[in-house]
Amino acid sequence: MQEKVFEHLSSVFYPERVAVIGATDSPDRVGFNVFQSILEGGFTGRVYPVHPRHESILGQPVYKSIGEVPGPVDLAVICLNQHATVQAVESCGRLGVKGVLCHAGGYREMGDEGRELEMRLIATAQKYAMVLVGPNSLGLINNEGNFYSTFYPLQIPKGSVSLISQSGGMGLTIIHKALDEGMGINKFIGVGNCSTVGFADYLEYLGEDSGTSVIAVFMEGTADARRFALAAEKVAAKKPVVLLKAGRSPVSDYFTVTHTGSAAGSYRLYRDIFSQFGVYMADSAHDLVAACKGLSLLAPARSNRIGILTHTAGPSIVMADQLSEKGCVIPPLQESTISRVKEIIGEDPPVVLKNPLDAAGLGFARETFGWLAGAMLEDPGIDLLVAVYCLHKNWGLPSREIIEAQRQYGKPVVACYASHWEGCRDDRNILQNAGIPLYTTPEDACAAVAALVHHSKRGGRIRP
């Protein structure tokens, strides 16, 4: 990645002075929502609304043109139509604005005329060596500076997962799933048509970004899959990259070209190649969020040997099954562990002493569950433990016991509680604050484990 691109993307993600060109007072319009989003998001820099006819918007004074904004502008967010956007970019260039974020669609995804307009847009940005985000972009979020520059005003908890999305709608789907899962977001970028800055640039930028520990990507298609794969390999050696790729069916090019102007390409080819280059390939939005949450909370596993402790066999069977499919091993318990388990629950317990260890026959003491978790974590053949429990009105959930066992042995632990969202919200916060991701289905827990094992192997292979 060029120094220049990195520096300019820093201006985009960490601007100090932002102009919103086309800010307006109608809540129906993009220009209002972007301005409201930045203002109410708690942005720590300065924001200047620009509109030729308004005096004030949301109590803030409005500037007639970008030229009237005092001092240098780091980022201009352009909320105009596709034609006026090109002119605005020209004005910004002349004034030395470092970066522009263009929301308008109507470019190459709309046929030849739009393509020509997009070429003019690109030429203008290049003439002034400006970074151009979009066009056809939902916007961007940098939670580190409370910078919420999208036309969907929202607030999301801070975290270390950053998201690059070609689609605003899939970006929002993933962000809302993250809210449901209690997964914090660091940065979000809606890349749109990727006219001058591509997937690989954003990936490399986030690879260097200290606030980002995991990078999620939603991609429809890219003209430069080779550069993306090479960038991903470099980045994935440092931090996990999780990709959800559209375009599995042969007909999907037909759907994608008119969205962001990219053909989807062969899904299987993308999947296999990207996976070999270190990227973890997610199957769905659920899967992507489950994997990213796990990766952001868990330390790398030493290997792929998984222990499963459960209070109810079914989910552990689903898990052992799926993890075996995904290249994990569910090893037998070692003799020392079997002895330790017998010390805890007696010489002739109503439990089959194997992995998964199903403790249902033992009654429902949370304390015992915690001791058994410790015994399994002590097993030298187990690198990661999944602890499974069901929400119960009278018995509570063994979150503190699981946390204590994890602290004692230091290996990664994933929790899976059969529960509805509200029933486990407090426990989820307690567990996740302690670095233990909580899931409510065995499939989601598997996504986290599989992603962690994928990344750990990858790290293992690349590191000297």
Report the residue from 24, 296, 316, 456 that binds its own copies according to the rule CB under 8 A. Answer: 316
153 counts as binding its own copies under rule CB under 8 A: yes
393 counts as binding its own copies under rule CB under 8 A: yes
Q: Which is nearer to its own copies, 7 or 321 (CB)?
A: 321
**Nearest-angstrom CA–CA distance, 239 and 210:** 11
Q: Considering the complex, what minimum distance in angstroms separates the CB of residue 95 from its own copies?
A: 29
State the binding string over 195-224 for its own copies (x if CB under 8 A, else -).
-----------------------x-x----
Report the residue from 149, 186, 260, 304 that binds its own copies according to the rule CB under 8 A. Answer: 260
146 counts as binding its own copies under rule CB under 8 A: no
Residue type, 68: E
Calculate ∠ Cα 239-145-38, nearest 5°.
125
- With contact defined as beta carbons under 8 Å apart, do 262 and 166 qualify? yes
Q: Considering the complex, what minimum distance in angstroms separates the CB of residue 210 from its own copies?
A: 28
347 counts as binding its own copies under rule CB under 8 A: no
Tokens of 69: 């904004």
154 counts as binding its own copies under rule CB under 8 A: yes
Write out the H or E segment, with its range, that includes residue 140: strand 139-142
Report the residue from 266, 275, 322, 368 that binds its own copies according to the rule CB under 8 A. Answer: 322
CA atoms within 13 A on the CB side of 373: 32
**Nearest partner of 319 among 308, 303, 333, 305, judged by Cα:** 308
**Residue that is written with structure tokens 């005092």 in the block:** 70
Question: What single string gives the DSSP state of each residue in 11-75?
Answer: HHHS-SEEEEET--S-TTSHHHHHHHHHHHTT-SSEEEEE-SS-SEETTEE-BSSGGGS-S--SE
Report the residue from 67, 72, 314, 346 that binds its own copies according to the rule CB under 8 A. Answer: 314
| CA-based torsion, 191, 194, 197, 199: positive or negative | positive
**Nearest partner of 321 among 187, 450, 139, 203, judged by Cα:** 450
**Nearest-angstrom CA–CA distance, 418 and 376:** 21
By the 10 Å C-beta count (0-12 exposed, 13-18 middle, 19+ buried), 261 is classed as buried
| CA-based torsion, 72, 75, 76, 82: positive or negative | positive
Q: Considering the complex, what minimum distance in angstroms separates the CB of residue 98 from its own copies?
A: 28
367 counts as binding its own copies under rule CB under 8 A: no
249 counts as binding its own copies under rule CB under 8 A: yes
Q: Which is nearer to its own copies, 131 or 291 (CB)?
A: 291
134 counts as binding its own copies under rule CB under 8 A: no
Taking the C-alpha atoms of 278, 284, 285 and 288 in order, what is their torsion angle to the nearest 10 degrees?
-30
Residues 181-200 that bind its own copies (CB under 8 A): none
Q: Which is nearer to its own copies, 235 or 328 (CB)?
A: 328
Residues 22-61 that bind its own copies (CB under 8 A): 27-29, 32-33, 36
Q: Which is nearer to its own copies, 258 or 276 (CB)?
A: 258
286 counts as binding its own copies under rule CB under 8 A: yes
338 counts as binding its own copies under rule CB under 8 A: no
> Which stretch, 12-20, 61-69, 315-323, 405-413, contacts its own copies (CB under 8 A)?
315-323
Report the residue from 198, 265, 315, 412 that binds its own copies according to the rule CB under 8 A. Answer: 315
**How big is the chain by its Cα radius of gyration, in Å?**
25
Tokens of 136: 């056809």
Report the residue from 42, 96, 157, 350 that binds its own copies according to the rule CB under 8 A. Answer: 350
CA atoms within 13 A on the CB side of 324: 11
> Which stretch, 55-63, 222-230, 254-262, 269-277, contacts its own copies (CB under 8 A)?
254-262
Q: At what angle do helices 366-378 and 335-345 cross, to 10 degrees?
A: 160
Q: Which is nearer to its own copies, 180 or 426 (CB)?
A: 180
State the binding string over 100-129 for its own copies (x if CB under 8 A, else -).
-----xx--xx-------------------
Residues 419-448 that bind its own copies (CB under 8 A): 419-421, 423, 440-444
